[in-house]
Amino acid sequence: MPDPIGGPARPGTRRRGTTPLRRPARAVRRGLSQLLCAVAGLGLGLLAPLVTGGPQVDAGRVAGVLFTLGFGVISLVSIIYSVLFLVVQFSASTFTPRLGLFRDEPVVWRTFAFTVGLFVFCITAGLAIGSRESVSTAVPSVAVVLTLVALALMRTLQMKAFDSIQLGHSLSAITTRAHRLYDTLYVNPYTPTGAVPSPPVADAGAEVRWTGPPAVLQSVDVPALLGAARAGDSAVAFRVAPGTTLAEGTVVARVAGDGVPASVLLGALTTGVERIFDQDPELPFRLLADIALRALSPAVNDPATAVEALDHLEALLIRLAGRDLDVGRFHDSTGRARVSVPVPAWDRYVRTAVDDVLFAAAGSPMTLRRTRDLLRALAERAPAERRAVVLDRLRWAERTGGETYPLVWTNGTGTEPDGPSGTRTRGTPR
């Protein structure tokens, strides 16, 4: 997690970037866009009938067209959104219930906001015409153009829906969001001197506990906490990371000093009912592993899907293998550490990505071989200090594969004897 804008790097260390962890404004933008489109439709509907230039057409016929377009478009978009609920349900039951990529697509709520604005325009303009005998052709022309734009948005929405039920598009979407998040958080290369995670900035202090109903911590507004901590000469050490489920009484953080009241600290948290990508770097691994596990379940039995998920898991692990992951300390403009947030270490990423899939893959030679190849590639690309956790799992995969599938368990170069009753793949650990 990078340092805030304007704050110098920790003395004696490298600067960790300049993008702060701010509270997401997604819900605000959605509601605001719908309000703005409705207001714009209202204003345009009142102003358009005032245009007097150009050819004139019968006002009664134009009013009828406007009402027809308005109610027709809003009815069509209602039907489309009802069908899209089935798409969301399909993705949840086929891939993982935690996959909400389509629902979070901007085109979903932008299309709805635009159609609301078009509906308001058509109804307002139709009523504003009133009992006039004629009206400029600009009014129906604007209505037709806006309707065509709405239809184009609906088509884009449908294409996004179709993509969301395709395995390849879903895996690529998860990986793309993960790359964007990791390129923001982990901007420095890994060095052995950074192998030991930094301790929290406040080992002792007053505990701040969660007092609300169970919720998922989605994000932390670090810039707001940095300002409060500096103003009160305090330090805040979080005990939970984004993605953690908060139960009543959970210790959220420790505060050294009296400058950050519990209300201010809890007010800097964004919670919800599910995990989101904004500040949860472990979520992409969890989603990909869940897709692989569901594919390996006896009810589905689709090892090829698990192999595709492992392809993307390997790409993410290799991307992180050479980066400094200790990015959970934040400093104010004077260089003093004020806020710390737990972040996943390398071992945590490997365990989340591999462990559950590795044991489930024991019943599928195709998936077990792909997991073995993933671990081999990771052992070659990871720094020496990070290979132990990978080699432990590689040895287990080799041993399990050789014992369970002796006829097919080769590395492509043949096998060599390993005692009187078995074989061992050349070049693999015992």
Pairing of strands 337-340, 235-238: parallel
pLDDT score for 202: 67
Residue 17 has pLDDT above 50, yes or no: no
- Mean pLDDT for the chain overall: 84
pLDDT tens figures, 243-288: 999 999 999 999 988 778 889 999 999 999 999 998 999 999 999 9
pLDDT tens figures, 354-403: 999 999 999 999 999 999 999 999 999 999 999 999 999 999 999 999 99
Residue 3 lies in a domain: no
Residue 348 has pLDDT above 50, yes or no: yes
List C-alpha distances in Å: 300 to 154, 253, 353, 362: 33, 42, 20, 16
Rounded mean pLDDT of 137-146? 92
Provide the phi-psi class of 362: left if phi over 0, else alpha when psi is between -120 and 50, else beta: alpha
Residue 407 has pLDDT above 90, yes or no: no
Pairing of strands 56-58, 134-136: antiparallel
Residues 152 and 39 in one domain: yes
Query: Which string of DSSP letters, residue by residue, matches 313-342?
Result: HHHHHHHHHTB-----EEE-TTS-EEEE--
Read off the pTM. Answer: 0.80
For 89-98, 110-119, 143-152, which range has the lowest pLDDT when averaged over its residues?
Answer: 89-98
pLDDT score for 423: 39
pLDDT score for 32: 83
Residue 338 phi/psi, 5° resolution?
A: -115, -30
Distance CA 182, CA 323 (A): 9
Domains identified in the chain, total number: 3
Rounded mean pLDDT of 338-356? 94
pLDDT score for 427: 42
Rounded mean pLDDT of 294-319? 95
The amino acid present at 19, given as its one-letter code, is T
Residue 11 has pLDDT above 70, yes or no: no
Residues 34 and 154 in one domain: yes
Residue 335 lies in a domain: yes
Residues 112 and 213 in one domain: no
For 14-28, 172-186, 210-224, 410-424, which range has the lowest pLDDT when averaged over its residues?
Answer: 410-424
Residue 145 lies in a domain: yes
Distance CA 143, CA 422 (A): 77
The amino acid present at 293, given as its one-letter code, is L
Token pair for residue 137? 């052709």
Residue that finishes a domain, picked among 240, 272, 304:
272
* Cβ neighbours of 52 (radius 10 Å): 10
For 27-41, 159-173, 365-379, 389-403, which range has the lowest pLDDT when averaged over its residues?
Answer: 27-41
Q: 417: part of which helix (H) or strand (E)?
A: strand 415-417
Residue 129 lies in a domain: yes
pLDDT score for 412: 43
For 305-319, 328-342, 374-388, 399-413, which range has the lowest pLDDT when averaged over its residues?
Answer: 399-413
| Distance in angstroms between the alpha carbons of the first and the last residue of the chain | 39
Residue 17 lies in a domain: no
Rounded mean pLDDT of 207-236? 91
Residue 250 lies in a domain: yes
Cα pseudo-dihedral 118, 122, 124, 130, rounded to 10: 170
Residue 1 lies in a domain: no
Residue 393 lies in a domain: yes
Residues 330 and 349 in one domain: yes
* Cβ neighbours of 152 (radius 10 Å): 12
What are the residues whose beta carbons fall under 8 Å from the beta carbon of 61, sequence distance 6 or more? none
Residue 155 has pLDDT above 60, yes or no: yes
Residues 322 and 393 in one domain: yes
Q: List the domain range (segments joined by +) for residue 266.
A: 200-272
172: three-class secondary structure by DSSP: helix
Residue 95 has pLDDT above 60, yes or no: yes
Rounded mean pLDDT of 94-107? 79
pLDDT score for 99: 79
Residues 294 and 261 in one domain: no
Residue that finishes a domain, picked among 227, 249, 272:
272
Residues 317 and 352 in one domain: yes
C-beta of residue 296 within 8 angstroms of C-beta of residue 357? yes
Residues 291 and 335 in one domain: yes
Residues 311 and 390 in one domain: yes
Angle at 199 between CA 14 and CA 278, to 5 degrees: 70
Residues 374 and 355 in one domain: yes
Residues 411 and 366 in one domain: yes
Sign, CA dihedral 418-424-429-430, equals negative
Residues 367 and 308 in one domain: yes
